[in-house]
Each structure stands twice: as structure tokens, then as C-alpha cells.
Structure 1
Amino acid sequence: MSADPVLILQLRRMGDLILTFPLLLALGRRYPGHPLWVAADPRFFRELMPLAPEAVFFPPEHLPMLARRGYAAAINLDTRPEAAACMAALEAPLKFGPMAEEDGLRIHGFWQLYRAALTRNNRHNAFHWADLHRLDVLPPGPWWPGATPGASRARATAGGERIGLVLGASEAVKRPDARFWARLAARLVRAGLVPLLLGGAAERELGAEVARLARLPQANLCGRLSLREVAAVMRGLALCVTPDTGPMHLADWLGVPVLDLSMGPVHARETGPVSPGQWVLRAAMSCVGCWSCRQARCSCKAAFTPEGVGRAVLALLDQPRGIPGGGDVAWPGLRLLRTGRDALGLHTLVPVGNVPSVGRSLEDFWQAAFLCFAGEDLAPQL
């Protein structure tokens, strides 16, 4: 008889599904010989299956069928009622995430409960969502897995001139506008680089407008490629410049060098690039990392200029000579950070030049506090 599978429910967007891939790797280590089953949106998993860890994918309409059997473990990363109902009906010795019980909705697992509590309350959260997905399954330690498997391979084969510009995001406030992208693309052309405009069908009009303003019709690939073809293009990029969006996570998973333009109500320590060695550019403001902007004008987005981002791109391509060590001196109003892993294997986001930050100190404090709350055995390692 074959071993019971391990079930993961992740019915959200493309980026959320890709951030589940490190969890699949962790589950494969904890449950060797047990097949991994994933319920997800077929619009995304059909194209991502060749790039994902080995797993069997099911569309959401299969949830009633999935609820009628037993599993070695089950993890619900979704908030939909049908996912919670599936968790309540299935049998498994370990269940994590939201579950519809007789007395109401309950969330099982310390770190799944912590993640749910971040809604509009994430000001000083220091845990990346990709880490939170797996902390209930695999406690952190010096041996904890860090980089994604394809990172070194993709960086070794990346081209030297093509720069990907991912135009879209889930909300307009989280991405630059067409004029910004056009000026940045023109700046890159003047530097001898080849910009490529990337996006799906939703960015078709935006891509056409950027290409028209920049006079680069041949650069526009928005809406013309399948997700698998976008991944193939990304593998040949010297750098992918992108807001916090699904294609950013795809580039990061593939190991493509990423510059994340972290603008608007996003928190780079939560949902930015997760692989070590990636780059994040965000406003040098105390309010970065909010859940939703309460100001009449989103000041953190206004801090970004095509000229500043263009200088950052050229500096990263010329690293380490091109990167100043003094923080945001070269990019007024912006701060450059780099992703990494700490002694416990957890995601870190460190300012270039180690610029002092009260906000970062508070994030690190609360990270240590919650690690101690989760397990006293971690205290000596902090």
C-alpha cells in the first residue's frame, strides 16, 4: 500500500502559489515517500508544474473529493470557506491552518495563527510568508533550507544585457505608471542595455502605452507569452526590475537576479524576494511596510523616480564597484537592501551599508520574541 499523501490547500494568486514551493521542499524532507498533493488555481499550476517541486495538483472543484480520505498531514494556506470545510472533513494526525469546526472557524498551528493575525497588524513583522508557511512543519535551525534550488544555476547562465521590466501588480498603487516605465526603459537603452517589457494579458494596454512612449515597440512582450514562455525569457535576464507581484516571485524562484521596487502597501520582509542575494529598493520612510496607506497621497511610491531606479540598475550590474556603502546617498529618498539568511536559516533584509534603523530593530526584537514564544529551545540560539 502506498503511503498517505500530504495535502496543501493554496487557492490564491500566482505569487502565493510560488511562495508555497519552499514548503513543498520542506514537506518532501519531513515525509519522504509520501506524495505531495496541492489544491490550487489551474490558471497558474498548469503553467508552473514543470517549474515546481514534484507534486500532484488539483483544481478547487476537487475539494469535496479530497475531503473524503486520510493524509499524513494537511496544511490549509487559504481563507476560503470551502478550504476550511475540506480541512474539517478530512482525516490527518496533523492539521494546520483554518478549519471549520462545529463552534466556528479555528486556526491550528502557532505560526498559521501568527500569520492570520498579521492582517492590518503587520507593522513590525519580520517573518517572510514563505518561512511562515513551513515553520509549523519544520522548526528553524542552522541547517534550515535557504536558497531555492535553481538560484546558482540561473545566475550562471544569465545574459549580460537584457533587463526585464515587469510592469504590473495587483493594485495600481503598488507599481509605477506608464510614463515612469517609459523613462526608465529609455534610460536603460542609452546605457547600452536591452529592456524587455513583461506582463500578462492584464498588462497588454499598459505594455503598449509604455512601448509607445519609449518608442520601443519591439520591447513589448506583455500579453504575448504564456507563463512558461515568460519563465524562459526570465532565465536569460541580467536583472529583473519588478514591483512586488507574481512574476517577481517567479523570477526569484528561478534564481534570476531581482531588483524589487517595493512601493505602496507592501512589506518586503513579508512578501519580497525570498532567495538570498536579491535586491530590494524602497522608500527611506518610517511608514514602509504598511498594510494599506492612510494618506491622501502615497508618499513611498512618490519617492521612486526613473532616474533613481536607473542608477540603481546600473550600479547592480557593475557590482561590487557600483554599489556605494553609505546607504541611500546615491538614491536620495530611497534605500537599497539585500536579502539573506540568518543563523537560524530565516529570511533577512539588510540595508546596504548597514544603515541604522529603529524600525528594523523593532522587527528583529519581535521576531526573537515570537520565536521564544513558539519554543523555548530556540532561546539560546537567538
Structure 2
Amino acid sequence: MSAHLVIQLARFGDLIQTKRLVRGLQADPDHEVHLAVDTGLVPLATLLYPGVIVHGLPVHTSRAKPDSIVRACVTLVAALKAADITRVYNLNLSAYNHALAGLFAPEQVAGYQWNQGQLVRGLWPEMVFRLSVHRLTNPLNLMDYWGFFLDPPLVPNLVNPPATAKGGGLGVVLAGRHARRTLPVPIVARIIQATAARSTGRIHLLGTMAERGAARALRPLLPAAIQGRLNDLTGRTDWNGLAEVVQGLDLLLTPDTGTMHLAAHLGTPVMAFFLSSAWAFETGPYGEGHLIWQSVEPCAPCLEAAPCSRDAACATSFADKAVLSRLAQLAQLKGETLSSGPALPLPLENICLLDTHLDDFGQDLRPLAGELPERDARLAHRELLRSHGLRTAPRRVRLEQAAAKALYHETDWMIDMP
């Protein structure tokens, strides 16, 4: 039996956002699916993708010794050589990715090819990269970006189940990998108080050992009644334990994190808080039934690597009285989806409330409150991407000509000469 190889050597959230591609490949019974991931994510990949053959490389382990990396590479190369790999999906721009993809002929590789010492991008990734020039107009979720490496891609509503409350209380992710994308503990405390009525169960604090201090700082900021509901799980769950907790929640409160994507994978409702460099259209929770609070400060989304001249002022908007009032209203919607409440105005210029929605192309976000900047340009880009990916004629949208100039260059129409 021939096989497909997916090279996904990024981190927790990226592994889950590869799901549309991986599940689409699994739908073909005539091919095995192999997946190369960081060694630390092998147990999670096995949990996420039953039936996939998972290979590990110590990419993100700083303690890995050179000889152990060499042994892992030898083992992986031998395994791939034994399999009849006919197609490779190289998803990331990294030295490890290029080294693995370079084991195969360039014509076998989709995504990023390493051809005679040069990086070559296919038309689809090249078009999407052009959107990064102005991220506010980027409408494409990463799940859909990688999903369209496969032609045809998996139908969007087969990726994640619709979100439904499970009865196991609230989950609170205390921090993400990027510090500026994480809300300060006092603001997290106010959000918990506003949403505590959504469930009468426990409130599970989630994170690594690095968040144990945040969990301790959070407790005295909460009323005694809520303190009694806290279940501090920071640093106390492995991948299986984390999945077990998350899949039983009524709601997960979280910044842009891998745990957020795990919740969407399991059909657990997410209320996400996107600020700083996080842009909900790119990496928001995938599927029906999630809510996202998106900062729309004039400087958002920013570049994580650049210093912030405003001392992360975008975080303060999430503690505004209008936001907390809307959170409390949403928490009262017993037995209803989070997006089924009244569309009340949100009197803020720097924050927007969005809900998730799927169509034939993939994920889209609809504003429930607040104003999104660059709406027309983003819709035009999405329609062109949709028509390109689904091979349909583009529907009429405003600014279509400007969108086409951004996504297509004259060199795209050049004829390859023999």
C-alpha cells in the first residue's frame, strides 16, 4: 500500500490545526497516512489521529543531544524508506521540514519544496503568503489553509463536531505560549466572575507548571463562593488527562492556545480572547458554536517579535464594563448556544465579538457586536480564495479588483517553457 506523509514539526496548536488535511487523507482507504511531529507531541498526535502512523523528531527539545537527534533521524528515514511514500505535504518553513522533504523528489512535495538548494512555494501557499502583507484583510483560517493542500479538501463540517456544553463545569486556560497574548490575572478574575453562572460545576484552571504562580495569584481575587469551585490542574495533566477534562466542559475560557484548538476538536464550546498579535480569522477555534473577543486596536494585530510601545494596552479592553456585562448576559443563556443571545450593541471602538461559522469553503467569522476594520477587503479576499480553492467562478464582491491584485501577480500567468 502506498502512503502519504505530512510533515508538521510546529507546536501543539498547529498539530491540531492540521486536522482537515490529515482527516482528508485518511478518507482515502488506498493510502496509509504518516505524520512527522515533534517527539513531545507523539502521544497527542496518536490521541488525535487514530490509524495514522506517527513519527517523532526532537525538534523543540532544548535538552536533546546531537547524537540522539541523529539516531531519531536515522530511525525516521528508515521508516519512511520502508513505506511507499508517493506524496509529501510539507507544512512549515523550517530547516527540519526542508531536510525531510528533501528526501523526496520535488514533484512529490506539496507546500514547500526544497529544489536544488532553493525554496519553491506552490501557487496556493504563495497566494496566501501575500495576505500576510496586510493581516487585517486575511480571512483564512490556518485549518483551511493546510486543508487545501489536498485537492479536493475534506468538507469543513466533517472536521470538528458542533460545540455543545457537556456538564463538567468551566475551564480556564491561564496563559498561552506568547506572553503578550495572555490576559493579566486581575482581568482573568473579572472574566471568571462574569461567566461563572454559565455552569454550576467546578472551575478547572489549566496550564503548565509555569502557570502555577498565576493560579495562586488568581484565587484571592475571586469571591469565596467561586474560590470553593476552583480545581487547580496547572502542571498536573498529561495529554490524556487534559483531553479528558476539556472534553467534559460546559465552556472553555482561553487566549489563543493549543488547548483552545483541542476543545474545538472535541466539540467543547470556546470563548476565546484574542489580542496583541493574535488574529481570530487566522487561528480562531474551528467549527460551529464558538465565540471570540477580538481586539481591534489600530495597532492590531501586531508583530509578536517587535516591542510594544503601548505596554500591551489592548488587554485593558477586556475588562471594560460593556464587555463584562455582555459576558454576564451570555452566561445566563442556559441550554442555548453562546451565539443565540440578543445582538446588543457594544459601545467600544477597540473590541469586537465574533461567532464561528462554516460554509462550503471553510471557517468564517460573523460580528455580533462591535465593528471589524477592513471588512470589504477581507470579504473580497475570501471570495477569491474560495473560488480558487473550490474551482468555482468568483461571486460579485466589492473591491474585487483590488483583492485580485493583492493575491495574483503577473508572474503567476507566465507559461513554463520546456
| TM-score, normalised by the number of residues in structure 1 | 0.85
Q: Does 1:56 align with 2:48?
A: no
Compared CA separation, residues 118 and 361, structure 1 to 2 (3 A): closer
Matched-pair contact (CA < 8 Å) for 2:2–2:31:
yes
Paired residues, number: 369
- Computed over aligned residues only, the root mean square deviation of the Cα atoms, in angstroms, reads 3.1
> Residue 137 of structure 2: SS of its match in structure 1?
coil
Q: Which of the residues 167, 183, 205 maps onto 1:176?
A: 183
Letter in structure 2 aligned against 1:195: I
Match of 2:123 in 1: 110
- 1:177 CA displacement: 1.5
Letter in structure 1 aligned against 2:3: P
Q: Does 1:6 align with 2:18?
A: no
> Residue 146 of structure 2: SS of its match in structure 1?
helix
> Residue 123 of structure 1: SS of its match in structure 2?
helix
Match of 2:378 in 1: 363
Fraction of identical pairs, as percent = 24
Matched-pair contact (CA < 8 Å) for 1:243–1:262:
yes
Q: Does 1:79 align with 2:93?
A: yes
Determine the C-alpha separation between the residues in 1 that align with 2:213 and 2:35.
33
Match of 1:145 in 2: 156
Matched-pair contact (CA < 8 Å) for 1:188–1:195:
no
Determine the C-alpha separation between the residues in 1 that align with 2:390 and 2:198.
52
> Residue 270 of structure 1: SS of its match in structure 2?
helix
Q: Does 1:243 align with 2:274?
A: no
> Residue 138 of structure 1: SS of its match in structure 2?
coil
- 1:290 CA displacement: 3.9
Match of 1:336 in 2: 353
Match of 1:209 in 2: 217
Matched-pair contact (CA < 8 Å) for 1:73–1:92:
no
Unaligned ranges ≥5, structure 1: none
Match of 2:137 in 1: 124
Matched-pair contact (CA < 8 Å) for 2:276–2:295:
no
Match of 2:149 in 1: 136
Q: Which of the residues 224, 236, 244 maps onto 1:224?
A: 236
Matched-pair contact (CA < 8 Å) for 2:106–2:113:
no
Letter in structure 1 aligned against 2:52: A
> Residue 343 of structure 2: SS of its match in structure 1?
coil
Determine the C-alpha separation between the residues in 1 that align with 2:107 and 2:11.
28
- 1:176 CA displacement: 0.9
> Residue 8 of structure 1: SS of its match in structure 2?
strand
Determine the C-alpha separation between the residues in 1 that align with 2:390 and 2:204.
47
- 1:371 CA displacement: 4.3
- 1:79 CA displacement: 1.7
Compared CA separation, residues 255 and 221, structure 1 to 2 (3 A): same
Matched-pair contact (CA < 8 Å) for 1:327–1:336:
no
> Residue 229 of structure 1: SS of its match in structure 2?
helix
Unaligned ranges ≥5, structure 2: 58-71, 398-418
Determine the C-alpha separation between the residues in 1 that align with 2:9 and 2:233.
27
Determine the C-alpha separation between the residues in 1 that align with 2:396 and 2:266.
31
Matched-pair contact (CA < 8 Å) for 1:97–1:113:
no
Compared CA separation, residues 203 and 120, structure 1 to 2 (3 A): farther
- 1:103 CA displacement: 4.1
Matched-pair contact (CA < 8 Å) for 2:349–2:371:
no
Letter in structure 2 aligned against 1:78: N
Compared CA separation, residues 363 and 139, structure 1 to 2 (3 A): farther
Letter in structure 1 aligned against 2:159: T
Determine the C-alpha separation between the residues in 1 that align with 2:134 and 2:303.
7
Q: Which of the residues 298, 301, 309 maps onto 1:289?
A: 301
Letter in structure 1 aligned against 2:85: Y
Matched-pair contact (CA < 8 Å) for 1:66–1:86:
no
Q: Does 1:97 align with 2:111?
A: yes
Matched-pair contact (CA < 8 Å) for 2:15–2:45:
no
Determine the C-alpha separation between the residues in 2 that align with 1:92 and 1:100.
7
Q: Which of the residues 324, 329, 336 maps onto 2:342?
A: 324
> Residue 54 of structure 1: SS of its match in structure 2?
coil
Determine the C-alpha separation between the residues in 2 that align with 1:105 and 1:67.
22
